[in-house]
């Protein structure tokens, strides 16, 4: 059974006491608590297996899977892949949580998600730097990228998939009654990266592993725990 692996989010951090980091090309506010307690390095090479070699049979199988995904979708699913490229988790999960799931309606939840995704970004660059893998659309001109601006950095593991899966883990615990649908959407979010031509299936699979590991780390982060409690209270007030 072949190794599952996963990829994608270009993210670099330079922190002071609070301030911003650059996250997927956009400036993201960093709470002072996160800046002061930046995450300890994770030994990703001790956890993640290496991606398939460029000329290996496994690489060829994965490339064929990417082509199959692209050749067997309709325009609606392709448009969803384009939307998922934006890294807007309110937009991504409103389809299962409800149309009222917006940053305006859930400000405490927004603070929690922003903190978690910034925390994720601090670790993702290290995960991507551990291995180098070209993206499918670079390796094969027949693979079409679904967005105009090409992603940069290693394809392995997928950063979008990691962040999407962390968000699913968190939101499933905030909106408990909708947890099954949230996890299903989290899985589908990762598939968008393959459909988009930005990642291989193993990149996405390992992205979820990265997401699980970082989510576990967040459980010991006092600031995140406080933000989570506030977000859960916010949903209870709304009867969710």
- Residue pLDDT tens, the chain, 240 long: 333 322 322 222 222 223 444 434 444 444 544 544 555 678 888 999 999 999 999 999 999 999 999 999 999 999 999 999 998 999 999 999 999 999 999 999 999 999 998 888 888 888 888 889 999 999 999 999 999 999 988 999 999 999 999 999 999 999 999 999 999 999 999 999 999 999 999 999 999 999 999 899 898 888 999 999 999 999 998 876
| Rg of the chain over all Cα atoms, to the nearest angstrom | 17
For residue 11, what pLDDT is reported? 28
For residue 119, what pLDDT is reported? 86
Distance CA 212, CA 196 (A): 23
For residue 124, what pLDDT is reported? 84
Strand ordering across the sheet containing 20-23: 11-12, 20-23, 26-29
Length of the chain counted residue by residue: 240
For residue 38, what pLDDT is reported? 53
Task: Report whether 156 contacts 128 (CB < 8 A).
Answer: yes
For residue 84, what pLDDT is reported? 96
Distance CA 192, CA 201 (A): 10
- What domains, with CATH codes, occur in the chain? 59-237 (1.20.144.10)
Which stretch of DSSP H or E encloses residue 11?
Answer: strand 11-12
Distance CA 24, CA 223 (A): 23
Strands 26-29 and 20-23: antiparallel
Burial of 76 (0-12, 13-18, 19+ CB in 10 A): exposed
Task: Report whether 173 contacts 179 (CB < 8 A).
Answer: yes
For residue 43, what pLDDT is reported? 87
**What are the φ and ψ backbone dihedral angles of 159, each rounded to 5 degrees?**
-70, -40
Structure tokens at 31: 């709470």
Task: Report whether 198 contacts 135 (CB < 8 A).
Answer: yes
Distance CA 115, CA 63 (A): 35
For residue 41, what pLDDT is reported? 75
For residue 5, what pLDDT is reported? 28
* 0.85 surpassed by pTM: no
Task: Report whether 142 contacts 153 (CB < 8 A).
Answer: no
Distance CA 240, CA 222 (A): 24
């Amino acid at each position: 059974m072949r190794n599952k692996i996963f990829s994608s989010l270009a993210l670099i951090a330079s922190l002071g006491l609070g301030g911003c980091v650059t996250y997927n090309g956009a400036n993201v506010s960093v709470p002072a608590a996160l800046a002061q307690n930046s995450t300890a390095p994770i030994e990703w090479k001790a956890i993640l297996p290496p991606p398939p070699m460029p000329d290996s049979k496994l690489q060829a199988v994965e490339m064929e899977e990417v082509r199959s995904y692209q050749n067997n979708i309709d325009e609606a699913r392709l448009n969803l892949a384009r939307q998922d490229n934006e890294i807007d988790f309110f937009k991504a999960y409103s389809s299962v949580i409800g149309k009222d799931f917006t940053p305006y309606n859930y400000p405490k939840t927004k603070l929690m998600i922003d903190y978690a995704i910034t925390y994720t970004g601090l670790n993702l660059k290290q995960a991507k730097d551990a291995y180098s893998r070209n993206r499918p659309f670079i390796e094969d001109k027949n693979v079409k990228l679904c967005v105009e601006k090409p992603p940069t950095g290693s394809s392995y593991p997928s950063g979008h998939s990691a962040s999407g899966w962390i968000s699913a883990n968190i939101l499933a615990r905030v909106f408990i009654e909708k947890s099954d649908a949230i996890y299903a959407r989290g899985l589908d979010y990762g598939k968008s990266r393959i459909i988009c031509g930005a990642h291989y299936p193993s990149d996405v699979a390992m992205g979820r592993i990265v997401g699980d590991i970082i989510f576990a780390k967040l459980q010991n982060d006092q600031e995140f725990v406080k933000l989570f409690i506030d977000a859960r209270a916010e949903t209870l007030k709304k009867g969710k």
